[in-house]
Amino acid sequence: MTRLVHRPIEVQSWQHCDPAVFRDRELTYEICFVIDKWKETGEWWSGEGVRRVLRVMTQDASLFDLECINQSWFIYKVWD
Q: For residue 4, what are the contacts with CB-CB under 8 A and spacing of at least 6?
A: 76, 77
Q: Whole-model pTM?
A: 0.86
Contact in structure between 31 and 21 (CB atoms under 8 Å):
yes
Does the pLDDT value for residue 16 go beyond 70?
no
Residue with the bigger pLDDT between 16 and 25: it is: 25
Q: Report the pLDDT averaged over residues 23-37.
A: 95
Cα separation, 49 vs 60, in Å, equals 32
Does the pLDDT value for residue 17 go beyond 80?
no
Selection from 2-6, 45-49, 60-64 with the highest mean pLDDT: 60-64
Tell me the domain boundaries of the chain. 2-79
Cα separation, 66 vs 45, in Å, equals 24
Q: Report the pLDDT averaged over residues 36-56.
A: 90
19, containing H or E segment = strand 19-24
Does the pLDDT value for residue 39 go beyond 70?
yes
